[in-house]
Amino acid sequence: MKNIAVIGSGTMGNGIAHVFAQNGYNVSLVDISEDALKKALATIEKNLDRQIKKEAISEDDKKNTLANITTFTSTEEGVKNVDLVVEAATENIDLKLKIFQNLDKICGPETILATNTSSISITKIAAVTERSEKVIGMHFMNPVPVMKLVEVIRGYNTTDEVTSTIMELSKNLGKVPVEVNDYPGFIANRILMPMINEAIESLYEGVAGVEEIDTVMKLGMAHPMGPLQLADFIGLDVCLSILNVLYEGFGNPKYAPCPLLVNMVEAGHKGVKSGSGFYSWGHGTKDLIVADRFAK
């Protein structure tokens, strides 16, 4: 397995492309937007420069990594002769189903199709293809170049051979793969999202403020960042989408998203990506500033 295509050049897509390219794989980075691809390459270069500054890689490593990435606005061109496709498009079920239907038609019969989805059923995605045994979840964590974990999710028909291949591939990337089965939220988000939702519920009910909630979890539970700050980084819209998948998948009210989260997303306050969530972002410093509506 040497040739990899990554569909989507956003935060996760460019991170996945970065990691594969840095480990010597030929990467086709595919996006419908030329501007998005240029932005992705700029982000990858910036992250490589950060690694150089930390003396984790050399200038030659940077040059080789960038040389391993080719960009495409045509999916058909981008996935030609690849061994693996990793889809990293927006967390939207209809979009993903459309992408996989198309990939199934244009990819070679031996190509493995992986999705970076954080919660959507692998089995459901695989069902729109004629190669359900070769469809698998490969859920990287953000930021991809830094985080070690990869959730490898087996669909109902995913074969042992394909699973073993992706587990070994993940190790070759310097990651720690964990095999899980295909149920709503998998493991990471099945546990993480109810915690984030409970933190939002606590804020909504006035139990404590934003900083207080995050401080308790950081200092009391040794979390590197509090759940509300983490929600801002993930994207409140993504958190809401995952909670809805859990709620619909299990039919259990404990997964119902907090009304505050729903309102914030509807109002456009999605966290870091929009400049405002539980905290205010884009003010030019790394200081955490609580958003005005939650400030005391």
User: Of 190, 169, 176, nearest to 121 (Cα)?
Assistant: 190
Query: Is 8 marked as binding a ligand?
Result: yes
The annotation status of 277 as a binding-site residue, yes or no, is no
> Is 31 within any annotated ligand binding site?
yes
227, two tokens: 């759940």
User: How open is the CA angle 148-8-128, to the nearest 5 degrees?
Assistant: 100
C-alpha neighbours within 13 Å on the C-beta side of residue 269: 18
Was 13 annotated as part of a binding site?
yes
Place of tokens 């989260």: 261
Q: Is 273 annotated as a binding residue?
A: yes
To the question of whether residue 271 is assigned a binding role by annotation, the answer is no
**Is 18 in the active site?**
no
Q: Judge whether 80 is annotated as a binding position.
A: no
Residue 232 is labelled as binding a ligand: no
Ligand-binding site membership of 118 (annotated): yes
What CA–CA distance (Å, rounded) separates 7 from 16?
10
Q: Any known ligand binding at 11? A: yes
Give the containing element (helix H, strand E) for 231.
helix 227-234
Own/partner contacts of 36-41, CB < 8 Å, gap of 24 or more, are 36/9, 36/10, 37/9, 37/71, 37/73, 39/9, 40/9, 40/10, 40/13, 40/14, 40/71, 41/14, 41/66, 41/69, 41/71
The answer on whether 9 is annotated among ligand-binding residues is yes
Cα–Cα distance for residue pair 57/78, rounded to 1 Å: 28
Is 251 annotated to bind a ligand? Reply is: no
Catalytic residue among 121, 132, 189, 202: 189
The residues facing 26 across adjacent strands are 3
Is 118 annotated in the active site? yes
Residue of 14, 68, 118, 132 marked catalytic:
118
Q: Determine whether 189 is an active site residue.
A: yes
Marked catalytic residue, from 119, 139, 202, 274: 139
- Of 225, 70, 82, 85, nearest to 142 by C-alpha is 225
- The Cα 14–Cα 39 span in angstroms is 9
Which of the residues 151, 170, 211, 276 is marked catalytic?
151
For 122, the token pair is 């692998």
Kindly report the length of the chain: 296
Catalytic residue list contains 139: yes
Binding site as annotated, residues for NAD(+): 8-13, 31, 91, 96, 118, 142, 273
Positions annotated as catalytic residues are 118, 139, 151, 189
Binding site as annotated, residues: 8-13, 31, 91, 96, 118, 142, 273
